[in-house]
Amino acid sequence: MFEFLKHKPKTAQPIFEVLGNDMHCHLLPRVDDGSKSEEETATCMRVMRAAGFEKIFCTPHYQYPRFPNIEEDILERFDNLKLDLAANGVKGNDVPQLAGIAGEYRIDSGFQQRLDANKFLLIGGKYLLVELSLHQQVMGVDQVLFDLQMKGYDIILAHPERYPYYSSSSHVLEHFKDMGVFFQVNILSLGGFYGEGPRRKAFEMLDNGWIEFMGTDMHNTLYAQALIDCTHDKKIEKVLTSHTFLNKSLTDPTVTNKKL
């Protein structure tokens, strides 16, 4: 298992120390299309620590009907993951601290029910991470975002560079920015993991000053290998030194969280 780590001599460089926190990953095992086991989670976490991350927030998918996760179950699984990793000696400085559990909520046909129930797990007790379909444009997204804001949520839109229907309609993304929606780019997008289109769009939005957060969106060991490659990418290193991101504020005790 995890043969790639044995045969690839390349190791991660700690270039993401400047971010401190990863705020988007799927390392809670067996709840979505992310990690399949505690062992896979530990392997990914070791790579993330070597890449410089000190703390991570797990953000499993909440997506109707594919991943009908409920918050109570996710919270229990998160506690069990921490116990399991500790029991197996996965701790200390080898891996990032599991700082919190939240979610990546897809705005889909099941979202209104969640909105009505006002039931979300927030990153750092503050930010609601939402995503859109990766294939088909959903109408009325701006209204949903507005409704969330009216309820007091600070919204982060996950990987806006990955929505192909927005690739040539930057005015929609600009409208979201005007509304005060935070944007999170996937680090792997910058390395070309999802193709040339998302890579170009990611750099374009960084140049526009539209990106407040960077995330790994780590799912499995394939992503971990791609993250290692990213730590050797000079263009990504330059992004980290030439932009300011809010990742570190997520565990800053001086930041007041509105919702806990």
- In whole angstroms, the minimum distance from the beta carbon of 216 to Fe ion comes to 9
Residues 132-151 that bind Fe ion (CB under 5 A): none
SS3 for 94? Answer: helix
**Binding of Fe ion at residue 22 (CB under 5 A)?**
no
**Binding of Fe ion at residue 40 (CB under 5 A)?**
no
Q: Which stretch binds Fe ion (CB under 5 A): 90-98, 99-107, 177-185, 188-196?
A: 99-107
Q: How many CA atoms lie within 13 A of 117 on its CB side?
A: 10
Q: Which stretch binds Fe ion (CB under 5 A): 83-91, 96-104, 224-232, 251-259?
A: 96-104
The footprint of Fe ion on this chain (CB under 5 A) covers a number of residues equal to 2
Pick the closer one to Fe ion by CB: 22 or 217.
Answer: 217
Among 156, 171, 164, smallest CA distance to 189 is for 164
- In whole angstroms, the minimum distance from the beta carbon of 24 to Fe ion comes to 6
- For the chain, report the end-to-end CA distance as a whole number of angstroms: 39
The CB-nearest residue to Fe ion is 217
Residue 161's region, left for phi above 0, alpha for psi from -120 to 50, else beta, is: alpha
Residue 154, strand partner residues? 127
Pick the closer one to Fe ion by CB: 20 or 103.
Answer: 103
Residues 190-249 that bind Fe ion (CB under 5 A): 217
Task: Give the Cα separation of 96 and 49 in Å (integer).
Answer: 5
- Which segments of the chain are extended strands (E)? 21-22, 55-58, 61-62, 97-101, 104-106, 127-131, 154-158, 182-186, 213-215
What is Dmax (Cα atoms) for the chain? 52
Q: Which stretch binds Fe ion (CB under 5 A): 91-99, 100-108, 192-200, 245-253?
A: 100-108
Residues 154-193 that bind Fe ion (CB under 5 A): none
Among 87, 91, 104, 128, smallest CA distance to 28 is for 104
What's the CA angle centered on 104, arms 80 and 136, to 5 degrees?
145
Pick the closer one to Fe ion by CB: 43 or 220.
Answer: 220
**Binding of Fe ion at residue 38 (CB under 5 A)?**
no
DSSP 220: S
Task: Give the Cα separation of 114 and 92 in Å (integer).
Answer: 37
Residues 41-60 that bind Fe ion (CB under 5 A): none
Pick the closer one to Fe ion by CB: 222 or 255.
Answer: 222
Pick the closer one to Fe ion by CB: 42 or 102.
Answer: 102
- In whole angstroms, the minimum distance from the beta carbon of 186 to Fe ion comes to 8
| Binds Fe ion (CB under 5 A): choice among 32, 104, 161, 212 | 104
- In whole angstroms, the minimum distance from the beta carbon of 68 to Fe ion comes to 17
Contact positions toward Fe ion, by CB under 5 A?
Answer: 104, 217
